[in-house]
Amino acid sequence: MSNNHVVDIENIKVHFDIKRSLAQDIISKKKIILKAVDGISFSIAKGEILSLVGESGSGKTTTGKAILQLAPLTEGSVNFLGEEVRGNDKVYMKEFRQNAQMIFQDPYQSVNPRNIVMDIVAEPLDVHGLVKTEAEREERVRHALEQAGMNPAEDYLYRYPHELSGGQRQRVVLASSMILEPKFVVADEPVSMLDASIRTGILKLLLELREKKALSYLFITHDLSLAWLISDRIAIMYLGKIMEIGKPDLIIHKGIHPYTRALTAIMPKPGIGRKEGRRILPGETPSPIEEINGCKFCTRCPIAKDICKEIEPLMEELESGHFVACHFAKEI
């Protein structure tokens, strides 16, 4: 483990038991298990943005929640600043929550519609008992709002969420997450529900905060082109597994895994005409409760062979920092 790492996760799994009807229990005693995250490992350095990219249902959000102890780990470990995260230690977790925050996807659902902006942004301060006077509380909220680009803060303090635009709501969510000055942030599709013009402003803000505070991000997105623009590294995820991880340019231009290549094939590239039709993967992502003995991607892979259906490929480092889980990585 490097001293420069903020987060290290080692072989984490998040499995859920699916409840069944009485009739289903009588017919079969076998448990149905949903493998949302099925054994992944990576690290995030200080000031680094690691983007987790994949289709809906690939386990990206569950991974972020598991790191923050918002989803229960079935196996594996999460280390934060060199110390294992102890989810059952209340004293430790209170300190951990101050240093690790999450920005949720939907700014319409992640704020309490009955609270004014002042109370929404100040809630983390209140929970952790970090301010002693009302004047100090208001000053911290003003600073957080202005840092999130809501100037002047006085214009927003006493508004309710329904009086704000989508972009303004997301800035309020950002202010609430950043008011504790965390060292690590899980950003779960933070701009996917915003207009393109507003999206640019939010992304610029996230990057500015990274530069000012040496923040580390796990940036969750289904948009590979967005990940290419803002990331230091990209991890490609499919059905609970990491398929490939490496530098953005390497993933985009020299991606090895067939799933990575399928994602880059449909990615719009500004200024580059498309000479051939889009290569669309056949079939749909299998259910995460379906048992697949070999590679998770073998049911849709254009180069799959018998070994892919029988043996799960291990992560292999092809060059420094570039890891691929494919039996035919070297041949490709």
Does some domain include residue 289? yes
Residue with the two structure tokens 């300190």: 95
Instruction: Give the per-residue pLDDT at 53.
Output: 96
Task: Give the CATH number of the domain where residue 152 resides.
Answer: 3.40.50.300
Cα–Cα nearest to 166, from 111, 219, 118, 124: 111
Does some domain include residue 331? no
Residue 180 in tokens: 């504790």
Does some domain include residue 259? yes
Q: Where are the beta strands (DSSP E) in the chain?
A: 5-17, 33-45, 49-53, 75-80, 83-84, 100-103, 184-188, 216-221, 233-238, 241-246, 316-319, 322-324
Instruction: Give the per-residue pLDDT at 25.
Output: 58
Instruction: Give the per-residue pLDDT at 83.
Output: 94
Instruction: Give the per-residue pLDDT at 40.
Output: 96
Which residues are registered as beta bridge partners of 219? Answer: 51, 187
What pLDDT, in 10s, does the model give residues 183-242? 999 999 988 877 877 888 889 999 998 998 899 999 999 999 999 999 999 999 999 999
Residue numbers of the chain with a pLDDT score lower than 50: none
Does some domain include residue 332? no
Residue 7, CA distances (Å) to 44, 179, 184, 217 in order: 5, 21, 8, 10
Instruction: Give the per-residue pLDDT at 138.
Output: 95
SS3 for 178-190, per residue? HCCCCCEEEEECC
* Number of neighbours of residue 306 by Cβ within 10 angstroms: 9
Q: Note the pTM of the prediction, 2 decimals.
A: 0.90
Instruction: Give the per-residue pLDDT at 232.
Output: 97
Does some domain include residue 329? no
User: Looking at the 3D structure of the chain, how many domains does it have?
Assistant: 1
Instruction: Give the per-residue pLDDT at 154.
Output: 92
Domain that holds residue 288: 5-324
Report the length, in residues, of the chain. 332
Residue 62, CA distances (Å) to 37, 41, 66 in order: 7, 14, 6
Which residues are registered as beta bridge partners of 101? Answer: 185
Instruction: Give the per-residue pLDDT at 270.
Output: 56
Does some domain include residue 36? yes
Does some domain include residue 209? yes
Does some domain include residue 51? yes
